[in-house]
Amino acid sequence: MQASNPFSLADKRILVTGATSGIGHAIALACARMGAEVIGVGRNPERLASAGQALNQISDKPHRMLQADLTNAEERQQLVQSLSSQLNGVVHSAGVSRLCPVRIISQKHLDELQAINVTAPTMLTQALLQKNLIAPGGSIVFISSIAAHAGVAGVAAYSGTKAALLAISRCLSMEVSKHRIRSNCLSPALVETPMFEGTSQVVGSLDKELRSYPLGVGKPEDVANASVFLLSDASRWITGTTIVMGGSGF
């Protein structure tokens, strides 16, 4: 008799935001490879279509890619209404990074970061919980950042949004544990994605930062593998915590 694999996502339905690019895309594909049915969310129509094709090549589960601007309350509601059955996992990966020193930061800059990095995942989680769309035993994963743990010049607003996720997830974990739903964060250091490329273009070379990385720069698949763990029953006793990835001693 074969032993069951506690890391398997077979028979699980997982919603992944930011599934059209970078880390979220890698998470969506990894979930499908581990046997899950994936509902991916993004905005860009071409990338939604190609992500859908990639998922369908992995398995014949009824994967879906849904278009929603998650900063728009109405589009969030429509997304939630389009879900016909309960989810076993949710990964909040959609997010943006914008750099600006506090001395010249604008209210608009703060509001834009807050809207997608904090308000969207929090209110989407609320809507899912209110409609009882997260099954008992389900797992919620927020993609925070090493920026929530370290001081780096020019990153204050982004760091603040990512630190908020750590605190929100910790409190949420206490609220949902009665349903055996878990909530955790991943805090990756720099990962090779389009966001990373954008940051490199703004600040010039990131070689200096990367020299302090004991294991070098991360790949989206590194974060995807950790997400699979947090979504699977292998982590059934882990909630309210954060895994810091690729950092030096956080």
Cβ atoms of residues 29 and 224 within 8 Å: yes
Residues 75-114 that bind ligand NAP (CB under 6 A): 93-97
Would you mind telling me the total number of residues written for the chain in this entry?
250
Minimum separation from the CB atom of position 161 to ligand NAP (A): 8
Q: What whole-number distance in Å separates Cα of residue 95 and Cα of residue 92?
A: 8
Minimum separation from the CB atom of position 229 to ligand NAP (A): 17
Residue 248 lies near ligand NAP (rule: CB under 6 A): no
Minimum separation from the CB atom of position 128 to ligand NAP (A): 16
Which of 9, 15, 22, 173 forms a contact with ligand NAP (CB under 6 A)?
22
Residues 113-132 that bind ligand NAP (CB under 6 A): 116
Nearer to ligand NAP, 47 or 170 (CB): 47
Q: Which two tokens stand for residue 208?
A: 């200096």
Q: What's the gap between Cα 243 and its chain centre? A: 13
Beta pairing class for 87-92 and 64-67? unpaired
Which of 195, 228, 231, 243 forms a contact with ligand NAP (CB under 6 A)?
195
Which of 191, 228, 230, 244 forms a contact with ligand NAP (CB under 6 A)?
191
Cβ atoms of residues 128 and 134 within 8 Å: yes
Residue 23 lies near ligand NAP (rule: CB under 6 A): yes
Nearer to ligand NAP, 88 or 187 (CB): 187
Minimum separation from the CB atom of position 71 to ligand NAP (A): 4
Site string for ligand NAP, 33-72 (x = CB under 6 A): ---------xxx--x---------------------xxx-
Residues 130-149 that bind ligand NAP (CB under 6 A): 143, 145
Q: Where are the beta strands (DSSP E) in the chain?
A: 13-17, 37-42, 64-67, 87-92, 134-143, 182-188, 242-245
Q: What whole-number distance in Å separates Cα of residue 120 and Cα of residue 17?
A: 10
- DSSP-derived secondary structure letter, 2: P
Helix (H, G, I), strand (E, B) or coil at 98: coil
Residue 21 lies near ligand NAP (rule: CB under 6 A): yes
Q: What whole-number distance in Å separates Cα of residue 138 and Cα of residue 235?
A: 11
Which of 119, 169, 193, 242 forms a contact with ligand NAP (CB under 6 A)?
193
CA distances from 81 to 66, 77, 127 (A): 12, 6, 9
Sites of contact with ligand NAP (CB under 6 A): 18, 20-24, 42-44, 47, 69-71, 93-97, 116, 143, 145, 188, 190-191, 193-196
